[in-house]
Amino acid sequence: MGMLHCTDCEFASFEQNKETGRWRGTCRRGYTLANPKVFHGADRFFTDSPDELVPVTDPRGREYLRTKDICDKYVHISTVDRAEKGHGGIFRFIKNRLQADKERDTELATEAADEAAETEADTQARDE
Protein backbone atom coordinates (compact mmCIF):
# COMPACT_ATOMS: atom_id res chain seq x y z
CA MET A 1 0.00 0.00 0.00
CA GLY A 2 1.32 3.45 -0.91
CA MET A 3 1.69 6.33 1.49
CA LEU A 4 -1.49 7.98 2.65
CA HIS A 5 -2.05 11.68 2.13
CA CYS A 6 -4.56 14.22 3.35
CA THR A 7 -6.05 14.07 -0.15
CA ASP A 8 -7.34 10.60 0.79
CA CYS A 9 -9.01 11.83 4.01
CA GLU A 10 -12.70 12.50 4.42
CA PHE A 11 -12.02 15.65 6.48
CA ALA A 12 -9.74 17.41 3.97
CA SER A 13 -10.74 19.51 1.00
CA PHE A 14 -8.59 21.11 -1.67
CA GLU A 15 -9.01 23.84 -4.23
CA GLN A 16 -6.82 24.99 -7.06
CA ASN A 17 -6.12 28.67 -7.66
CA LYS A 18 -7.16 29.36 -11.26
CA GLU A 19 -4.56 32.08 -11.77
CA THR A 20 -1.49 30.30 -10.41
CA GLY A 21 -2.54 26.65 -10.75
CA ARG A 22 -1.32 25.98 -7.19
CA TRP A 23 -3.29 24.03 -4.57
CA ARG A 24 -4.51 25.02 -1.10
CA GLY A 25 -6.00 22.62 1.42
CA THR A 26 -8.19 22.81 4.49
CA CYS A 27 -8.95 20.28 7.21
CA ARG A 28 -12.35 20.18 8.90
CA ARG A 29 -10.69 18.71 12.00
CA GLY A 30 -8.80 21.97 12.52
CA TYR A 31 -5.30 21.06 11.35
CA THR A 32 -3.43 23.62 9.26
CA LEU A 33 -2.22 22.06 6.02
CA ALA A 34 0.99 23.45 4.55
CA ASN A 35 4.14 22.60 2.63
CA PRO A 36 6.65 21.38 5.25
CA LYS A 37 9.58 22.49 3.08
CA VAL A 38 8.57 26.19 3.11
CA PHE A 39 8.80 27.94 6.47
CA HIS A 40 7.56 31.52 5.89
CA GLY A 41 5.05 33.50 3.91
CA ALA A 42 1.90 32.64 2.02
CA ASP A 43 3.78 30.25 -0.28
CA ARG A 44 3.82 27.86 2.65
CA PHE A 45 0.09 27.17 2.17
CA PHE A 46 0.22 26.59 -1.61
CA THR A 47 1.81 23.70 -3.50
CA ASP A 48 1.99 22.38 -7.04
CA SER A 49 0.28 19.15 -5.96
CA PRO A 50 -2.28 18.68 -3.17
CA ASP A 51 -0.37 15.57 -2.03
CA GLU A 52 2.44 17.86 -0.84
CA LEU A 53 0.22 19.47 1.81
CA VAL A 54 0.55 17.95 5.29
CA PRO A 55 -0.65 18.89 8.78
CA VAL A 56 1.80 21.33 10.37
CA THR A 57 -0.33 22.91 13.12
CA ASP A 58 -2.82 21.09 15.36
CA PRO A 59 -6.34 22.40 16.16
CA ARG A 60 -4.97 24.17 19.27
CA GLY A 61 -2.47 26.16 17.21
CA ARG A 62 0.59 24.23 18.31
CA GLU A 63 3.16 22.78 15.96
CA TYR A 64 2.09 19.30 14.91
CA LEU A 65 5.07 16.97 15.25
CA ARG A 66 4.20 14.35 12.69
CA THR A 67 5.85 11.07 11.85
CA LYS A 68 3.85 10.61 8.63
CA ASP A 69 2.00 12.77 6.11
CA ILE A 70 -1.38 12.40 7.86
CA CYS A 71 -2.69 13.17 11.35
CA ASP A 72 -4.00 10.72 13.92
CA LYS A 73 -7.61 11.75 13.11
CA TYR A 74 -7.31 10.52 9.51
CA VAL A 75 -10.41 8.77 8.08
CA HIS A 76 -10.00 7.29 4.61
CA ILE A 77 -12.73 8.25 2.17
CA SER A 78 -13.65 4.60 1.49
CA THR A 79 -14.16 4.16 5.25
CA VAL A 80 -16.96 6.71 5.09
CA ASP A 81 -18.52 4.74 2.24
CA ARG A 82 -18.56 1.70 4.51
CA ALA A 83 -20.07 3.82 7.29
CA GLU A 84 -23.17 4.25 5.20
CA LYS A 85 -23.70 0.50 5.64
CA GLY A 86 -23.37 0.78 9.47
CA HIS A 87 -20.09 -1.02 10.29
CA GLY A 88 -18.28 -0.41 13.61
CA GLY A 89 -18.29 2.40 16.20
CA ILE A 90 -16.62 5.18 14.23
CA PHE A 91 -18.66 4.13 11.25
CA ARG A 92 -21.91 4.44 13.20
CA PHE A 93 -20.80 7.85 14.45
CA ILE A 94 -20.09 9.07 10.94
CA LYS A 95 -23.30 7.56 9.59
CA ASN A 96 -25.34 9.22 12.35
CA ARG A 97 -23.54 12.51 11.79
CA LEU A 98 -24.26 12.40 8.06
CA GLN A 99 -27.91 11.61 8.77
CA ALA A 100 -28.18 14.47 11.29
CA ASP A 101 -26.60 16.87 8.79
CA LYS A 102 -29.11 15.82 6.11
CA GLU A 103 -32.02 16.31 8.54
CA ARG A 104 -30.72 19.75 9.55
CA ASP A 105 -30.34 20.76 5.91
CA THR A 106 -33.91 19.62 5.21
CA GLU A 107 -35.22 21.63 8.18
CA LEU A 108 -33.34 24.74 7.06
CA ALA A 109 -34.66 24.39 3.51
CA THR A 110 -38.22 23.99 4.84
CA GLU A 111 -37.86 27.07 7.07
CA ALA A 112 -36.48 29.10 4.16
CA ALA A 113 -39.38 28.01 1.94
CA ASP A 114 -41.89 28.92 4.66
CA GLU A 115 -40.31 32.36 5.10
CA ALA A 116 -40.37 32.93 1.35
CA ALA A 117 -44.04 31.96 1.21
CA GLU A 118 -44.87 34.32 4.11
CA THR A 119 -42.98 37.15 2.44
CA GLU A 120 -44.81 36.52 -0.83
CA ALA A 121 -48.17 36.46 0.97
CA ASP A 122 -47.34 39.74 2.78
CA THR A 123 -46.31 41.36 -0.51
CA GLN A 124 -49.53 40.27 -2.21
CA ALA A 125 -51.63 41.50 0.74
CA ARG A 126 -49.95 44.93 0.59
CA ASP A 127 -50.46 45.16 -3.17
CA GLU A 128 -54.21 44.55 -2.83
Give every CB contact of residue 74 below 8 A, 6+ residues apart in sequence.
Answer: 4, 6, 9, 11
- In one-letter notation, the amino acid at residue 27 is C
Residues 9-61: pLDDT tens digits?
888 888 888 899 999 998 888 899 999 888 888 889 999 988 889 999 888 88
Indicate whether this model's pTM tops 0.85.
Answer: no
Tell me the C-alpha distance between 83 and 23, whole Å. Answer: 29
Residues 47-92: pLDDT tens digits?
998 888 999 988 888 888 877 888 888 777 776 555 455 444 455 5
The radius of gyration of the chain from alpha carbons, rounded to an integer in Å, stands at 21
- Above 70 in pLDDT, residue 119? yes
Tell me the C-alpha distance between 34 and 6, whole Å. Answer: 11
**In this structure, is residue 1 part of a structural domain?**
no
Domain shared by 26 and 65, yes or no: yes
Domain count, the chain: 2
Domain shared by 69 and 89, yes or no: no
